[in-house]
A and B are shown apart, each in its own frame.
Chain A
Amino acid sequence: MNTIALNREELARRKRIRTLFTVLRFLLILIFFVIFLFPVYWIAVGAFKVEGEFYHYPPVFWPSHFDFQNFVRGLAIFGGAQALIASLVVALANTVLVIGFGVLLAYSMGRFNVGGDNMSFFVLSLLFAPPVIATMPLFIIWKTLRMLDTYPVLFLSYILINMPFAVWIMKGFFEDIPQGIENAALLDGYSRFHAFRKYVLPLAVPGIAVTALFVFIFSWNEFLFALIFTRSHTQTLPITLAGMTGGHEIPWGEISALSLIAILPGVILTLFFQKYLVRGLTFGAVKG
Chain B
Amino acid sequence: MSSMAQARGTSILTLEKSQKRFARLVALPGMVVLILLVVGPLAYMLFNSFFVKTLATPLPPRFAWFANYGSLFTDGRFWNAFLNSMIIMVIGIPVQSFLALVLALLLNKKFPGSRIIVALFLIPVMITPVVAGFEWKIILDNRFGPLNYVLSFFGIAPLAWLAKPLLAMASILIMDTWQWTPFVTVVLLAGLAAIPKQVYEASSVDGSSANETLWRVTMPLLRPMFTLVILLRIIFIFKIFDPVQILTGGGPGVSTETLSVLTYIMGFKSFNVGMSATIAVVQLIIITIIAKLFISMVMSRRKGKES
Question: Cα distance A43–B204 when bound, in Å?
Answer: 46
**B149 lies within 8 A of A54 (CB):** no
Does B254 have its Cβ within 8 Å of any Cβ on chain A? no
Q: List 14 A-B contacts (CB under 8 A).
A: A28-B102, A57-B143, A58-B149, A102-B30, A108-B30, A109-B27, A115-B27, A121-B295, A124-B291, A128-B294, A238-B131, A263-B127, A277-B186, A285-B297
Contact code string A172-213 (vs B, CB < 8 Å = 1, else 0)? 000000000000000000001100100000000000000000
Contact code string A92-134 (vs B, CB < 8 Å = 1, else 0)? 0000000001101111110110110100110111111111111
**B264 lies within 8 A of A270 (CB):** no
| Chain B residues whose C-beta falls within 8 Å of the C-beta of A39 in the assembled complex | 124, 132, 135-136, 139, 178
Query: How many residue pairs between the two chains, A and B, have CB atoms under 8 Å in the bound complex?
Result: 285
With both beta carbons as reference points, the residue of chain B lying nearest to A43 in the complex is identified as B135
**A136 lies within 8 A of B276 (CB):** yes
Closest CB of chain B to A36's CB: distance in Å? Answer: 6
Spot the interface stretch: A2-10, A63-71, A72-80, A155-163: A155-163
Does A242 have its Cβ within 8 Å of any Cβ on chain B? yes
Question: Cα distance A61–B294 when bound, in Å?
Answer: 44
Q: Which of A42, A59, A132, A245 contacts B280 (CB 8 A)?
A: A132
Does B118 have its Cβ within 8 Å of any Cβ on chain A? yes
| Chain B residues whose C-beta falls within 8 Å of the C-beta of A126 in the assembled complex | 34, 38
Question: Cα distance A133–B232 when bound, in Å?
Answer: 19
Quick one: which of A128-175 are within 8 Å of B by CB?
128-141, 156-157, 159-160, 163-164, 167
**A129 lies within 8 A of B283 (CB):** yes
Q: Which of B20, B48, B124, B291 contacts A128 (CB 8 A)?
A: B291
**B292 lies within 8 A of A121 (CB):** yes
* Known contacts A57-B144, A220-B128, A266-B126; is-contact A130 B287 (Cβ 8 Å): yes
**A259 lies within 8 A of B128 (CB):** yes
| Chain A residues whose C-beta falls within 8 Å of the C-beta of B229 in the assembled complex | 282
Q: Which of B103, B238, B246, B297 contacts A130 (CB 8 A)?
A: B238
**B143 lies within 8 A of A255 (CB):** no
* Chain B interface size, under 10 / 10 to 19 / 20 to 34 / 35 or more: 35 or more
Question: Cα distance A263–B267 when bound, in Å?
Answer: 29
**A61 lies within 8 A of B146 (CB):** yes
Spot the interface stretch: B5-13, B39-47, B162-170, B195-203: B39-47
Closest CB of chain B to A108's CB: distance in Å? Answer: 4
Q: Which 9 A-B pairs have the closest CB atoms?
A: A105-B30, A133-B280, A266-B126, A112-B23, A108-B27, A137-B41, A223-B242, A238-B130, A137-B44
**B126 lies within 8 A of A277 (CB):** yes
| Chain B residues whose C-beta falls within 8 Å of the C-beta of A125 in the assembled complex | 284, 287-288, 291
The dominant DSSP class at the A interface is helix
With both beta carbons as reference points, the residue of chain B lying nearest to A259 in the complex is identified as B131
| Chain A residues whose C-beta falls within 8 Å of the C-beta of B38 in the assembled complex | 126, 134, 159-160, 163-164
**B301 lies within 8 A of A285 (CB):** yes
Number of A positions contacting B (CB below 8 A): 97
Does A19 have its Cβ within 8 Å of any Cβ on chain B? no
Does B72 have its Cβ within 8 Å of any Cβ on chain A? no
Does B145 have its Cβ within 8 Å of any Cβ on chain A? yes
Does A248 have its Cβ within 8 Å of any Cβ on chain B? no
Does B123 have its Cβ within 8 Å of any Cβ on chain A? yes
* Known contacts A28-B106, A252-B138, A285-B298; is-contact A192 B19 (Cβ 8 Å): yes
Closest CB of chain A to B200's CB: distance in Å? Answer: 16
**B122 lies within 8 A of A270 (CB):** yes
Quick one: which of B95-128 are within 8 Å of A by CB?
99, 102-103, 106-107, 115-128
Question: Cα distance A241–B143 when bound, in Å?
Answer: 22
Does A89 have its Cβ within 8 Å of any Cβ on chain B? no
Does A23 have its Cβ within 8 Å of any Cβ on chain B? no
* Known contacts A124-B295, A286-B228; is-contact A133 B42 (Cβ 8 Å): yes
Closest CB of chain B to A242's CB: distance in Å? Answer: 6
Quick one: which of A11-57 are within 8 Å of B by CB?
25, 28-29, 32-33, 35-40, 42-43, 46, 54-57
**B242 lies within 8 A of A224 (CB):** yes
**B119 lies within 8 A of A270 (CB):** yes
Does A267 have its Cβ within 8 Å of any Cβ on chain B? yes
Question: Cα distance A224–B245 when bound, in Å?
Answer: 9
| Chain B residues whose C-beta falls within 8 Å of the C-beta of A108 in the assembled complex | 23-24, 26-27, 30
Closest CB of chain B to A271's CB: distance in Å? Answer: 5
Closest CB of chain B to A159's CB: distance in Å? Answer: 5
Does A281 have its Cβ within 8 Å of any Cβ on chain B? yes
Does B299 have its Cβ within 8 Å of any Cβ on chain A? yes
Question: Cα distance A102–B26 when bound, in Å?
Answer: 10
A108-B23, A126-B38, A128-B238 known; 19 new pairs, CB 8 Å cut-off, are: A29-B103, A36-B181, A42-B138, A58-B149, A112-B20, A114-B23, A114-B24, A121-B292, A128-B288, A129-B284, A130-B238, A133-B45, A138-B41, A139-B267, A140-B273, A159-B38, A224-B241, A270-B122, A286-B228
With both beta carbons as reference points, the residue of chain B lying nearest to A104 in the complex is identified as B26
**A128 lies within 8 A of B235 (CB):** yes
| Chain B residues whose C-beta falls within 8 Å of the C-beta of A267 in the assembled complex | 123, 126-127
